Chain A
């Protein structure tokens, strides 16, 4: 039954939910309407906390009984003590950070491990749209124009791996997804619409 429920999560969230240990202390940064937190509490008996910037999402979370704080991850992570969480989660939010490198450091300061997912800007449809039209791509996975998008730091799989290396962050695991399905690692920087990494302080 738990597996069935988990399958209703977005694929990257389902992978995260599967890999979070039972009873873990979890911080979900940019938790949205709390769907992952709810699954973690229900299926993993996790002690889950969230940060979310959108007040309507926060309200929906609190109305479900989740512990979610309305705040800005760029600013508010600093108020959490070192090592307060076993797992920190940053799903589809890294590319919106003012300084993704700072956010990665903060994430691994408050959490011993982190799951980070992001849209891969080197996905072949992006490359093709940019090459053929010479304009910033607007796709199914990144549907907002360049001037209105919250994604201010587009990143590729290779960029993220380089950042991890620069910051001395160890990559423990990686998963890739296209069209809401997990795909293999081969040629991921071309083939993956988005990526999920499990990292630790190294």
Chain B
């Protein structure tokens, strides 16, 4: 006992929190409710200069009212904040740096503000900590970036502070747990304060204040793709993916990245996928937001399970009506959870498939372009081979068995490998070549003074590239030379592709390392919109039995 008594005070954080809360005490209306008009005063009471602050926001829901209020605090009182947050897509997130309220930033995704992020880093308004993946940043919330104050959002709260985050639970549990269990302060903006919640997603004793915001929080329908905009060449790529990869490896579990290629794949599952005999063999377990373009395949009984990172606007009723497939709570509504979906996406799935803006001659890919620090959100968690994985599946084992270099580091032990697929047309928007000698990420790193170029998927994790020319099975390449030749073979008329040697490409085709459209036995004339199970937003609504309710801007009929 005497030894313990000599120690320093071990409760400084709790005492500091108590002092801050005492300063805020006069601002409470009833229970934990603070009125919207007192929000700025509340923030000034509980935040101190140099604090680590989290504003909840990812590529979907946003604590937008709290972000705007933080911009209105007296910067003589509050400055040099260290923002740690999944994403900075709102102008208000960057205004904090413009206004001198915040100084340092650790984040995962820049979205529409990517240009300002780059500019502010270059002119010293932002001191960049690092660009992370979502899971990596969540990990650091429990390590060295624990928020002192977190500003989160929920659909509903009661006056005890219990929160209902429902369909869009997303990042809230990870943020609140890290903050509250290290004596931090949690403030929630909610659309509505009610007497009784449908269910409790965050217990009230983890929440310090709830504010009914003047308008509902902003939410972006990021994963909604109008089938009317799917092109024939995307359908051709989708056919190649299904035949040359899904069927070839028998891929049951996966994540579909954002974009029209994966929408095209989803929309031809009930047609071309059925014809290939893949129903029940592929796409049975998915880690996926509630993509509207999955509705036809779900309705046709392809899918056992889908767990979601976040919600998707308009899909609430449909998802709630398919509880055998989605993770629906006892109250009858979905609970998404980004941390768990990313965990499954990192460790449990057999395949990640998505698109990118650039792939270099070695197979590294990035969506970073000069002048934009965009970050990658969750893609790198899933677009990599999780080295900690220990459970085998057929697809994972087959992909690993094909690696000629497996014995280089682990001798005679068998080991599988995650399929990581990039599907791209060789030229993107404005006929910009997708295959390049050097990624723009290098220039960005030089201009914005980043220690490393921001790479979405490293070449050693990438196993397959699909273009209109064919599929490069990079996992079958024995060395870098073979890998670069396989990349050239599918790079079309880009400068990288023009360097392909016909005899080399022929040898790669004979070895099954490159397969062209005709090698795959696909007739390009069939690549047209007749293959789409739904050809319009209205078709999706019809497939859903009227349960899907598209946002206004997608209601084009």
A binds B: no
Residues of B within 8 A of A (CB): none
